Amino acid sequence: MQEVPSKKERVIVYIDGFNLYFGMREAGFDNCRWLDLKKMVQKLIKPDQSLEDIKYFTSRVSNDPQKQKRQANYIDALESTGVKILYGNYQNSAEECKRCGHTWKTAKEKMTDVNIATNMIVDGFNDLYDMALLISGDSDLVPPVRATHTHLKQKRVCIAFPPKRHNASMANVAKGSFTIGRKTLIDSIFNKEVKSKTGYLIKAPENWLP
C-alpha cells in the first residue's frame, strides 16, 4: 500500500522586534543586528512544519535621522524576503527624578504587544496556523498565549526567547519554549548588500555585521 504523506504543521511566526533587538544588544551580539529573520526562522522550525508567514512588529524611531535611516534600511531588507511589517508607535512622555525634581522627555514604544496579541488570536480563529511561534520575552503577552490555548484548543503557541529575555511566566503558559542561541543568529546574517523589492541595493549599517 502506498503511504499517505502526513500533513505538515502550519506555522506563523510573530516577532517582537524591539524585544529581539535589545535582547541581542544586552547579550553583546551587536554584530548580529543585520539579521535575516526568514533565514533564522527556517533554522528554528522542523522538517515536518511549513512556514506560512512571518510578522515583524516594530515602531518607527523618531528624532534621530541616523537611527531612522538604519531602521528604514533594515526594514527594506526584511521586506525583500517577504517578512510582513506591522507598526505600533512611540508615545512621548516625561520622567521625573523623585529626589531632585529634574524632568526629561522620553519616548516609549506602544501597541506592539496589543498588535501581536490581536494578530495571533485572529489568525488562530481564522485557522491560518496550527502553531504560533512567538519570538519575545515580554510577559505582557502571557494573557493572549493563555487565551489562545483556552479558546482555540487545536492551536498551540511555542516561544523562542531572544537572548537575555527568558521569562518563566511565559514559559509556563507556552506549549514549548527555548532561547535563540548566538550560533543561530550568526548563521542567519544577511549579505553585506541586499537587493530591495524595487531593485536598489541596501547596505548593512556600520558595525552590524560579524
Report which of 28, 82, 75 is spatially closest to residue 53, judged by C-alpha positions: 82
Domains of the chain with bracketed CATH = 9-203 (3.40.50.1010)
- Which residue is it, cell 551587536? 30
Q: What is the pTM of this model?
A: 0.90
Tell me how far apart the alpha carbons of residues 134 and 84 are, in angstroms, rounded to a whole number: 15
Confidence of residue 91 (pLDDT cuts 50, 70, 90): low
Q: CA angle, 56 as apex, 123 and 109 as ends, to 5°?
A: 110
Amino acid at 19: N
Helix axes 112-125, 142-151, angle to 10 degrees: 10
Confidence of residue 64 (pLDDT cuts 50, 70, 90): confident
Q: What is the pLDDT of residue 116?
A: 98
| Sheet strand arrangement including 131-135 | 84-87, 49-58, 9-16, 131-135, 156-161, 177-179
Confidence of residue 15 (pLDDT cuts 50, 70, 90): very high
